[in-house]
Structure 1
Amino acid sequence: MKYLFSEETVAVPQDVKVHIRSRIVSVEGPRGKLTKDLSHIAVTFSLPEKKDKDGKQLIKIEIHHGSRKNVATLRTVKSIIDNLITGVTRGYKYKMRYVYAHFPINVNIEKGDDGVQMVEIRNFLGEKLVRHVKMQEGVTVEPSKGVKDQIELTGNSLEGVSQSAADIQQICRVRNKDIRKFLDGLYVSERGNILDE
């Protein structure tokens, strides 16, 4: 079944500027600038003159003659733009805890040659192998203050922060052992925004 016309709207806060050109969305706010290329998704963007009841600028995302799957992409695009706006206004913070039973995990944070931060994990399950994880662009890592065995990943891009956390978690997967017994690793314990604290 084809849907003749479907639309979603995104409200943009006062202190945020959104620029859309040939489906490349740039969002600029107090914390910085983020860009996302949505040129592979067949949607139409428009900036109507009228604002919502709070005086916020609106962005309309429309699709004509779309199938059910095409209409589903509308909500995805809306969520992506909402995440970009949240990123440049409040930022994202993930907290990761080290879990170990016997061998204490050692984590060092260092800068790579290209200025991007790296996380170095040693003594995981007593192994001599040193694991290195490169952070995504714009993501910073630091040990938590006052909390033992915890690191905090912060950044403006939700994709960057969450992918960096996933990379750290996945490099510490336990292989060739019963994972119900060997629960060691680095796991995300808390997700939130930087400015909510």
Structure 2
Amino acid sequence: MTKKEAIRYAATVLFAHKGFQDTTMQDICKVTGTAEGTIFYHFKSKEGLLIAILEQAKTRILEEYDAAFTGRDFASGLEMMEEAVTFYFHLAGVMEHEFTLLQRQFPHQLAEDNSECRSHLAAIYNCLTDIFERVVRAGQDDGSMGAFPPRETAMILFAMVDGLLRLKTCNLYDAGALFDELIASCRRMLAKPRDGSC
């Protein structure tokens, strides 16, 4: 791991668990053993460091998705949906600090005034929603799902899955205990109506 990567990783953990405002550059220096000037050399500012974290998170999400789905065949869009939901929870586990950071308020507050931050946040959420949109389109192509608006349906799927993850992140509920019901709910929502109306 390079010094720049070590700084970015340490900042990700601190921002996620301590908060952006409550993490000082001195905290990051202490954890990484680097001088404050080194951090500013690589990232220019604390906001620049957060933006670099968001940029790296999107890159990693795409890499993880490609590794999990490239070259795989699914019996149906509904089967692909189950795999996408499973993948999302897996991703939240291997990128625990990044997902915790995304669920905090400060990146969204910064995005209100910082167009670069807003752009990176939008790219991350678009990337995650795209995963579910591919599922809906695949299911519509193979006839296993109804003719629902793909993007809007994908956003609802994403909100359901991410909402359950938030309950787990906040230690409010064991998301794993609801996994089977989540899959069943997604199947009920997406399945093609038996009367053939959609």
Give the TM-score normalised by the residue count of structure 1. Answer: 0.23
The structure richer in strand per residue is 1
Structure whose alpha-carbon radius of gyration is higher: 1
The structure richer in helix per residue is 2
